Structure 1
Amino acid sequence: MSNRLIETLAGAAVIAVAVGFAAYSYSRAGIDTVDGYEIKASFNSIDGLSVGNDVRVSGVKVGSVTGQDLDPKTYMAVIKMSVRSDLELPLDSSAKIASDGLLGGKFVALEPGGDIEMIEEGGEIEYTQGSVNLEDLIGQVIYSSTSSSGDQ
């Protein structure tokens, strides 16, 4: 009977440590949302990007992805993002889906333009570059190396 009590207490301790670790990780991860104004951008591909991912300018988090949808007319992926209210983006700014390292997560990288007019609440970024698919790139490298070696 005492063995079961010890095993139960040990199991409870392991669960408590796991919950504590998860809470600590969440608090240190910087997953908090950014209050600000909402803008949107259309991309041909958003592979790996999801709601909650960062929006960054020069590597600094300035917002987060708040929604994603498909435009039924153009078949483009439309991303909604919240950007800090103290950050004004010029009308000719651009957005691209970037990756945090080779195996890291995706984020939206904004590059401010030089226009005098600024994007307003609900505005749209016109210049975009979609997500680059790593598997496709590797496949192209393998295919090009096998086709060039077969020519000789």
Structure 2
Amino acid sequence: MRRGSLETAVGALVIVIAVIFAIFAYKVTDYGRKTGYLLFAEFNHVGSIKTGSDVRVGGIPVGKVTELSLNPETFKARISLDIESKYNFPSDTAVSIGSEGLLGGSFVEIVPGGMDGNLQPNDEIEFTQDAVDMLQLLGKFMFSGAADKDEFKAK
């Protein structure tokens, strides 16, 4: 009889662990999160932004990137932002592409404006700032130093 109670205890433990894992996965993936409203923005260069990247204000997540596409008329990268419904931003809000460092991921940073009217669902954010290309910036820094050195030698 003892063997049967041991099997029952192990089975119950497995079920409890499975339930805990399911709850953890549900919370981590934001599967149960209600969607807010969509905003759109166009950029010349989005860097390493991808679907699921954070949308932040002052470092605080307020939404996610839901889609990336190419506008066939302007040939700019168009991103869709799912913003939590509790946040409303002024109509002169700006967005930029931020980076968490050289090896970190990218995110969309919202910089709220100061106008009275708010952006409405499906509005286009007009004021955008492209992602900084770190390799290009590093190359300019390295080669500008060499140019300054050559200029110094010529004097």
Into which bin does the TM-score normalised by the smaller protein fall?
A: 0.7 to 0.9
1:106 match: 106
Name the TM-score, length of structure 1 as normaliser.
0.78
- Matching residue of 2:137: 137
TM-score by length of 2: 0.77
Q: 1:107 to 1:43 in 2, by over 3 A?
A: same
* CA displacement, residues 69-91 of structure 1 (integer Å, 9 cap, x when unaligned): 11111111111010010100100
In 2, Cα distance between equivalents of 1:115 and 1:37: 20
Partner of 1:7: none
What is residue 89 of structure 2 aligned with on the other side?
Answer: 89
- 1: distance between equivalents of 2:136 and 2:29? 30
Displacement of 1:47: 1.2
The count of corresponding residues between Structure 1 and Structure 2 is 130
Aligned match of 1:115: 115
CA distance in 2, matches of 1:87, 1:129: 21
Shift of 1:100: 1.1
Contact 1:52 1:64 in 2 (8 A): yes
Mapped to 1, the partners of 2:65 and 2:54 lie a distance apart of 6
Percent identity, aligned pairs only, is 35
- Structure 2 regions of 5+ residues with no counterpart? 1-20
- Give the gaps of 5 or more residues in structure 1: 1-22
Question: Shift of the alpha carbon at 1:102?
Answer: 2.7
**Shift, 1:31, TM fit:** 5.0
CA drift at 1:30: 5.2
Q: Secondary structure at the match of 1:40?
A: strand
Compared CA separation, residues 48 and 87, structure 1 to 2 (3 A): same
Q: What does residue 74 of structure 2 align with?
A: 74
AA partner of residue 42 (structure 2): S
* SS of the residue 1:87 aligns to: coil
Alignment of 1:23-38 (within 5 A): 27=25, 32=30, 35-38=35-38
SS of 1:85 mapped into structure 2? coil
State how far apart, in whole Å, the 1-side matches of 2:80 and 2:34 are: 13
Spell out structure 1 runs of 4+ moving beyond 6 A.
none
Answer whether contact 1:34 1:82 (CA < 8 A) is retained. Answer: no
